[in-house]
Amino acid sequence: MHKTRARLDRQFDKLQRRIPDAAARVLERLRQPEARWMRIPLGILLVLGGIFSFLPVLGLWMLPLGLLLLALDLVILQGPVNTAIVRGTRKWTTWRRARRDKKAKNQN
């Protein structure tokens, strides 16, 4: 259990380094233990918004963010969310490299 929480914290740290400063500050506040009363309802709303992403304003981006927030409090989600983040990151990196290599090959 402790390993999965530490891994989740590392994923949040990476995310905070990649997003704009204002969003990183909000995320830092949401990660504090006393923000649980705000984090759980927000996570649920984001998951629901992600499910209804076919509606205007709502988007699929809301689903993973909501699951990330909920995983901070729900131990049962920590393992699957960690696995999804790691696999998704690997696939994203592989896709970007392949795209970059293809672009470089076409320019030569």
Residue 37, pLDDT above cutoff 70: yes
The model carries a pTM of: 0.77
pLDDT digits over 45-79, tens only? 999 988 887 777 778 888 888 999 999 999 999 99
Decide: 65 and 28 in contact? Cβ < 8 Å. Answer: no
Q: Which residues contact 66 (CB under 8 A, 6 or more apart)?
A: 42, 43, 44, 45, 46, 47, 48, 49, 50
Instruction: Give the closest residue to 81 by CA, choosing from 90, 93, 71.
Output: 71
**Percent residues over pLDDT 90 in the chain:** 48
Virtual torsion, Cα 88, 48, 28, 77, nearest 10 deg: -60
What does the pLDDT read at residue 1?
59
Across 21-25, 27-31, 102-106, least confident range: 102-106
